[in-house]
Amino acid sequence: MIQLKTEEEIEIMRTPCAIVSDVHKLLMPQVKPGTRVSDLDAMAEDFIRANGGLPAFKGYRSGSSAIPPFPATLCVSIDDEVVHGIPSDRILQEGEIISIDVGVEKDGFFGDGAITLAVGAVDPEKVRLMRVTRESLFRGIDQALPGNHLGDVSAAVQEHVEANGFSVVRDLVGHGIGKNLHEEPAVPNFGKAGTGPVLKAGMTLAIEPMVNYGTHRVRIAANGWTVLTRDGAPSAHFEHTVYIAKDGPQLLTYHFER
């Protein structure tokens, strides 16, 4: 069941979403060759807790008892890692691209956001991949209007990605968000306009295109969490938590804009 938020609940949500945004702003200058990924994770956790929040991903369970809980504050995914990369002592290298996904809980509500950044100078095609992924997110957000269908959001993302020669991941989707990190509805990055649930004022969505340079097919790493491209090509990921207000979509996270 899709949960509609009151204006009072939206005001509460703004705080964890603001912390998400501030974490990204804190980490952006640290994304450079020579940085240890685990250091980014430690900085993020310290900042979240210092601001009264809780890391939403740390200890999160996948639903399978065979897979250990997620062990970190951030999902840090590099090059062919699509999402759910586990921070380690890996050192960032010139030419890589890195997705930083962070979730925060505060006062019973959640915020979620992701950004992909270049590590130093990167290949122009990686730059184009990041640009198109980011653009596709805003194409989707533009369709998050009361009275539209969820498929309008999905189709807008897919059409922009595929028009530029890239592919959207089919095995992973965005989601509703609020009192839980993951709520109804699922928000695919592919679909047909005019289909799916009708969007209503009060809905809050985590819209998050995951876009691969090559095939849309993915595989799961041995750790049970990290999703990688099947062909080893790079992937990009951008995400905003979006509130559907009566007059249109509002960004609750604001770590990057158009």
The tokens for 38 are 């685990």
Name the band, by pLDDT with cuts 50, 70 and 90, for residue 232.
Answer: very high
Angle in degrees, 0-180, between the axes of helices 150-163 and 124-142, rounded to the nearest 10: 160
Determine the average pLDDT of the residues in 67-86: 97
DSSP state of 214: S
Model pLDDT, residue 255: 84
- Is residue 238 scored above 80 in pLDDT? yes
List, in sequence order, every residue forming a beta bridge with 241; answer none if it has no partner: 206
Model pLDDT, residue 64: 75
Residues in contact with 51: Cβ distance below 8 Å, sequence separation at least 6, in sequence order? 19, 22, 106
Q: What is the maximal distance between C-alpha atoms in the chain?
A: 48
Model pLDDT, residue 124: 98
Percent of the chain whose predicted confidence (pLDDT) is above 90: 97
Model pLDDT, residue 258: 78
> How does 154-177 read in b/e, with b if 16+ C-beta sit within 10 Å?
bbbbbebbbeeebbbbeebbbbbb
Tokens 């009072």 belong to which residue? 8
Segment 214-227, tens digit of pLDDT = 999 999 999 999 99
Average pLDDT value for the chain: 97
Angle at 245 between CA 242 and CA 251, to 5 degrees: 30
Q: Please tell me whether the peptide bond between 185 and the residue prior to it is cis, using omega within 30 degrees of 0.
A: yes
Segment 162-209, tens digit of pLDDT = 999 999 999 999 999 999 999 999 999 999 999 999 999 999 999 999
Nearest to 104 by CA among 189, 28, 176, 14: 14
Name the band, by pLDDT with cuts 50, 70 and 90, for residue 96.
Answer: very high
Which residue type does 38 have?
S
CA distances from 107 to 49, 73, 184 (A): 13, 18, 20
Segment 7-22, tens digit of pLDDT = 999 999 999 999 999 9
Model pLDDT, residue 65: 77
Percent of the chain whose predicted confidence (pLDDT) is above 70: 100
Nearest to 7 by CA among 256, 223, 230, 247: 247
In the chain, where the domains are located: 7-251
Segment 47-64, tens digit of pLDDT = 999 999 999 999 999 877
- Is residue 257 scored above 90 in pLDDT? no
**CB count, 10 Å around CB of 231?**
14
Residues in contact with 20: Cβ distance below 8 Å, sequence separation at least 6, in sequence order? 102, 103, 104, 111, 112, 113, 241, 253, 255
Nearest to 213 by CA among 162, 140, 172, 256: 162
- Is residue 25 scored above 90 in pLDDT? yes
Nearest to 140 by CA among 224, 244, 68: 244
List, in sequence order, every residue forming a beta bridge with 89; answer none if it has no partner: none
- Under the phi-then-psi rule, with left for phi > 0, alpha for psi from -120 to 50, and beta for the rest, what region is 32? beta
Residues in contact with 187: Cβ distance below 8 Å, sequence separation at least 6, in sequence order? 150, 153, 154, 173, 174, 175, 176, 205, 206, 207, 208
What topology does CATH give the domain 7-251? Answer: Creatine Amidinohydrolase (3.90.230)
Model pLDDT, residue 188: 98
